[in-house]
């Protein structure tokens, strides 16, 4: 059902697909009542949500700062209006002013139509937090989107993309449903590629007992972004690390974070910790994935059901640290095409990776051009929170959501001669931008940051 | 009417205001900060975090960065409002002589009264004008229009009327009210003494002003005006100190690895002969 009363919507998971992620859909006639019940439960738990519901002054500042509104001019894509889709229900059922002065303050009764609105607009939000970043109060509409999606999920309204990805993770330990033999094969193939292209010997140890470092790549790096994984392998080989990739968790992403922060996200966290314990590693290093890194860095401490024994850092942190200590020899001339950096939202507004990415960038390319705005102020690619839907209506929206990004890239001029590089070190950013740079004719190739590191390592 | 607005209602107002605040703030406090959702780049010390929140609260930092016009209007409005509120309290307590009480400035009582008058007039007007601007903005600017609910406009209208009446009392000599009268009135209220007979309550403008203020206070805990506290509560969640875990990989010695020429064909193969 890609459209409902004029609203675009992603294709939904079937009952069978929902059952694979342990959800029993609520029958339609019970949905509105259950929605209010679940909302009551959630609002009593999350203060960030309560404050988003209760302290917005409707100043409108967030409007021009959300790429979804900029790209579509759909009023419901203004962050505070997106939140209002739940707020009107929240007011109606949980506040005095809403119960007594309904219309005046914009309160509304719950109905199936409202749930359909939620489904449409909470899956147009990329949870990028630019609204929280600019709001005078720091109101985080991303928190509202989390709650909205959680609630819909409990009702049995979940996109096919998210539910099948969640199920694949549970079954195989990655989003791409790659079994262990496939992983090992792919890694051997990458070793050969590296030997052919860079002339160096790099092994990708899988499930190596006694390894010190457990590296968690994004599974998209096995298929779509091989140079990111190859870059990571070259980096670890270069520094002589005793590292391994666990075959049970070959996924830096955690879709649970995006639509089910209770069961799905926690399940993935426990799976990771089990892997670390079994392999007896000392440290976990994360690969390039924006939401996955936020989920790991900021949420594992509050989701792990047991004491955390492993420090977790991002591969960018480690590379930047070695660059700062002058331990890596990098040759920027290996990356001499003009490069601009798309800051993955989760890195710069939630994980503080801003500076480290620039330390790396400046060390391994010759012609780095910042986009405007950049860093914590940068705009989202338009695919965040895995709204990478391929249904025609949603795909059209994705083009609109990336309009701002396209303008920014164009303004840097890196693609003028058709040979620029758009560095976007996050798997979802990459998946969104591969087609989008073509749609917008930007003349750039999309790459990860570790790709550039691998290419510029000086081995001898 | 005088009996109700001037004598009885104030006690209800204060009670509802206090209970309402407890209810609303309690509702916020009841929910938890479940996960760490602080916004990066992070403050590194409590002082930096306080500075960030302070610049947002008192200088409207984000408005300044992202919307200068709104910043000017909103900051002026709030600044005037703050001064008007303080002015009310201080004025009724010291009758305009407050500046003379500051030691070392040599301000005379006469001068202090003149200053008090002057500030009061300026802020009264600024408040009115900036409220008008904010209302205009809500009706004229696309983004603001799209997010506005009727209650948002009503609040601005309400404050305009409230402030307008205050200004009338200040600028129209016939309706002017002396601080002393208000002082006596408030004191009597606090002491639970009868006040209905007071001459002050015969001033229709004062009576309406007083009524509007009381309605404002009654509704305050249930309204968007709670953003005063909401802002601190929200920033307490998103502007927290956070320290990155230390980088550094276990058992990695890059210079040894490079000396061993790891990865280079015909060199020592990776993982062998090297720990
Ligand atoms: C530290 C305290 C406060 C801060 C940081 C603050 C901040 C803000 C901000 C950033 C806005 C949005 C800009 C705008 O729409 O004008 C706003 C709006 C508003 N504030 Fe405050 N405020 C504070 C205290 C108060 C108080 C005590 C009142 C009491 C009446 C108040 C009344 C209003 C009103 C009526 C609006 C809406 C203006 C409009 O609709 O355009 N504020 N405030
Ligand atoms: S910027 Fe913040 S306060 Fe202003 S409308 Fe958006 S969410 Fe509300
Ligand atoms: S999180 Fe991003 S996409 Fe979602 S409302 Fe905020 S600015 Fe828009
Ligand atoms: S996909 Fe990339 S840019 Fe877009 S929200 Fe994630 S991190 Fe942001």
Helix axes B109-140, B68-94, angle to 10 degrees: 150
Domain count, chain A: 3
A68 lines ligand 3 (CB under 6 A): yes
Residue A220 in any domain: the answer is: yes
Residues A62 and A138 in one domain: yes
Residue A389 in any domain: the answer is: yes
Residues A145 and A178 in one domain: no
Residue A397: give the domain boundaries.
Answer: 329-456
A280 CB within 8 Å of a chain B CB: no
Count the neighbouring beta carbons within 10 Å of the beta carbon of residue A25.
17
- At residue A284, φ and ψ (nearest 5 deg) are -110, 130
The CA A22 to ligand 3 mean position distance, Å, reads 28
Mutate to test the interface with A, among B143, B215, B232, B271 (most CBs of A within 10 A): B143
Residue A4 in any domain: the answer is: no
Cβ–Cβ gap A138/B41 under 8 Å: no
Residues A101 and A64 in one domain: yes
pLDDT tens, per residue, chain A with 460 residues: 567 888 999 999 999 999 999 999 999 999 999 999 999 999 999 999 999 999 999 999 999 999 999 999 999 999 999 999 999 999 999 999 999 998 889 999 999 999 999 999 999 999 999 999 999 999 999 999 999 999 999 999 999 999 999 999 999 999 999 999 999 999 999 999 999 999 999 999 999 999 999 999 999 999 999 999 999 999 999 999 999 999 999 999 999 999 999 999 999 999 999 999 999 999 999 999 999 999 999 999 999 989 999 999 999 999 999 999 999 999 999 999 999 999 999 999 999 999 999 999 999 999 999 999 999 999 999 999 999 999 999 999 999 999 999 999 999 999 999 999 999 999 999 999 999 999 999 999 999 999 999 999 999 8
Residue A188 in any domain: the answer is: yes
Residues A385 and A400 in one domain: yes
Residue A215 in any domain: the answer is: yes
Residues A29 and A143 in one domain: yes
Residues A103 and A209 in one domain: no
Residue A404 in any domain: the answer is: yes
A142 lines ligand 2 (CB under 6 A): no
Residues A296 and A338 in one domain: no
Bigger pLDDT: B179 or A151?
Answer: A151
- Identify the pLDDT of residue B272: 41
Residue A15 in any domain: the answer is: no
Cβ–Cβ gap B66/A61 under 8 Å: yes
- Ligand at minimal distance from the CA of B73 is 1
The CA A378 to ligand 1 mean position distance, Å, reads 27
- Identify the pLDDT of residue B270: 47
> What's the pTM value of the predicted model, to 2 decimals?
0.94
Residues A192 and A313 in one domain: yes
Residues A66 and A94 in one domain: yes
Mutate to test the interface with B, among A41, A61, A187, A302 (most CBs of B within 10 A): A61
Q: Mean pLDDT across the stretch B250-259?
A: 96
Q: Which B-chain residues 253-272 have CB contacts (< 8 A) with chain A?
A: 253-258, 260-265, 269-271
- Identify the pLDDT of residue B59: 98
Residues A197 and A345 in one domain: no
Residues A63 and A137 in one domain: yes
Q: What distances in angstroms separate CA A162 from CA A14, A124, A281, A326, one per listed residue?
A: 12, 14, 30, 42
Q: Which residues of A touch B244 (CB under 8 A)?
A: 313, 317, 352
| Per-chain mean pLDDT for chain B | 93
Residues A313 and A348 in one domain: no
Using the CB atoms, write b or e for B111-130: b if 16+ within 10 Å.
ebbeebeebbeebbebbbeb
The CATH number of B2-244 is: 1.20.950.20
Q: What distances in angstroms separate CA B188 from CA A388, B119, B177, B195, B197, one per listed residue?
A: 68, 27, 17, 7, 12
Dihedral sign from CA coordinates of A358, A361, A364, A368: negative
Confidence at B274, pLDDT banded by 50, 70, 90: very low
Q: Which B-chain residues 75-114 have CB contacts (< 8 A) with chain A?
A: none
- Identify the pLDDT of residue A3: 78
Instruction: Report residue A335 as tokens.
Output: 């990356």
Quick check: A405 and A436 in contact, CB under 8 A?
Answer: yes
pLDDT tens column, B78-134:
999 999 999 999 988 888 888 888 888 888 889 998 999 899 999 999 999 999 999
Tell the residue nearest (CA) to atom 33 of ligand 1: B225
Q: Pocket of ligand 4, candidates A384, A408, A409, A437: which has the most ligand atoms within 8 Å of its Cβ, to mutate?
A: A384
């Amino acid at each position: 059902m890609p459209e409902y009363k004029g609203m675009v919507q992603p294709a939904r998971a079937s009952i069978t697909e929902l059952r694979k992620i342990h959800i029993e859909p609520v029958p339609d006639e019970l949905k509105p009542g259950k929605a209010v019940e679940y909302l009551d439960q959630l609002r009593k738990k999350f203060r960030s949500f309560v404050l988003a519901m209760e302290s917005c002054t409707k100043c409108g500042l967030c409007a021009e700062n959300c790429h979804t509104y900029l790209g579509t001019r759909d009023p419901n894509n203004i962050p505070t209006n997106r939140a209002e889709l739940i707020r009107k229900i929240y007011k109606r059922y949980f506040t005095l002013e809403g119960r007594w002065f309904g219309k005046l303050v914009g309160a509304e009764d719950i109905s199936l139509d409202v749930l359909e609105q939620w489904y449409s607009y909470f899956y147009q939000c990329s949870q990028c937090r630019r609204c929280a970043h600019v709001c005078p109060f720091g109101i985080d509409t991303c928190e509202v989107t989390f709650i909205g999606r959680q609630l819909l999920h409990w009702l049995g309204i979940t996109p096919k993309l998210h539910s099948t990805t969640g199920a694949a993770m549970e079954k195989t330990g990655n989003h791409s449903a790659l079994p262990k033999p496939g992983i090992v094969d792919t890694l051997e193939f990458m070793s050969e590629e590296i030997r052919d292209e860079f002339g160096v010997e790099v092994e990708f140890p899988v499930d190596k007992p006694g390894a010190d470092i457990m590296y968690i790549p994004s599974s998209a790096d096995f298929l779509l972004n091989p140079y990111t994984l190859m870059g990571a392998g070259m980096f670890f080989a270069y520094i002589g690390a005793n590292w391994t990739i666990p075959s049970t968790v070959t996924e830096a992403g955690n879709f649970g974070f995006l639509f089910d922060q209770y069961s799905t996200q926690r399940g993935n966290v426990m799976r990771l910790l089990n892997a670390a314990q079994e392999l007896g590693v000392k440290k976990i290093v994360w690969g390039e994935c924006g939401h996955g890194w936020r989920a790991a860095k900021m949420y594992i401490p509050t989701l792990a059901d047991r004491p955390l024994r492993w420090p977790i850092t991002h591969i960018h942190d480690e590379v930047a640290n070695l660059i700062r200590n002058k331990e890596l020899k990098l040759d920027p001339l290996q990356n001499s095409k003009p490069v601009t950096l798309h800051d993955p939202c989760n890195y710069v507004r939630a994980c503080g990776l801003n500076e480290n990415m620039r330390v790396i960038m400046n060390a391994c390319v010759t012609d780095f051009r910042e986009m405007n705005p950049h860093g914590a102020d940068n705009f989202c690619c338009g695919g965040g929170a895995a709204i990478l839907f391929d249904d025609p209506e949603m795909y059209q929206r994705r083009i609109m959501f990336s309009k701002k990004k396209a303008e920014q890239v164009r303004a840097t001029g890196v693609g003028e001669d058709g040979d620029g590089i758009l560095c976007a070190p996050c798997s979802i950013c990459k998946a969104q931008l591969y087609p989008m740079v073509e749609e917008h004719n930007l003349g750039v190739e999309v790459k990860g940051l570790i790709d550039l590191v691998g290419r510029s390592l000086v081995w001898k | 009417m005088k009996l109700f607005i001037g004598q009885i209602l104030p006690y209800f107002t204060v009670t509802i205001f206090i209970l309402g605040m407890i209810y609303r703030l309690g509702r916020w406090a009841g929910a938890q900060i479940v996960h760490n959702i602080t916004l990066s780049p992070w403050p590194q010390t409590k002082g930096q975090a306080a500075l960030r929140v302070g610049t947002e609260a008192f200088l409207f930092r984000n408005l300044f960065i992202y919307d200068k016009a709104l910043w000017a209007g909103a900051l002026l409005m709030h600044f005037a409002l703050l001064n008007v509120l303080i002015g009310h309290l201080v004025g009724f307590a010291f009758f305009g002589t407050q500046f003379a009480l500051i030691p070392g400035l040599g301000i005379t009582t006469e001068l202090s009264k003149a200053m008090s008058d002057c500030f009061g007039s300026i802020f009264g007007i600024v408040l009115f004008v900036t409220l008008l601007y904010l209302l205009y903005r809500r009706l004229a600017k696309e983004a603001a229009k799209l997010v506005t609910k009727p209650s948002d406009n009503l609040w601005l209208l309400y404050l305009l009327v409230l402030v307008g009446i205050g200004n009338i009392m200040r600028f129209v000599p016939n309706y002017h009210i002396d601080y002393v009268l208000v002082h006596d009135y408030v004191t009597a209220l606090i002491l639970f003494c009868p006040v209905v007979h007071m001459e002050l309550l015969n001033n229709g403008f004062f009576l309406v002003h007083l009524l509007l203020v009381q309605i404002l206070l009654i509704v305050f805990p249930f309204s968007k005006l709670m953003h005063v506290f909401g802002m601190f509560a929200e920033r307490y969640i998103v502007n927290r100190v956070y320290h990155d875990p230390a980088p550094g990989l276990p058992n990695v010695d890059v210079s040894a690895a490079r000396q061993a020429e790891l990865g280079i064909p015909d060199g020592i193969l990776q993982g062998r002969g090297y720990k």
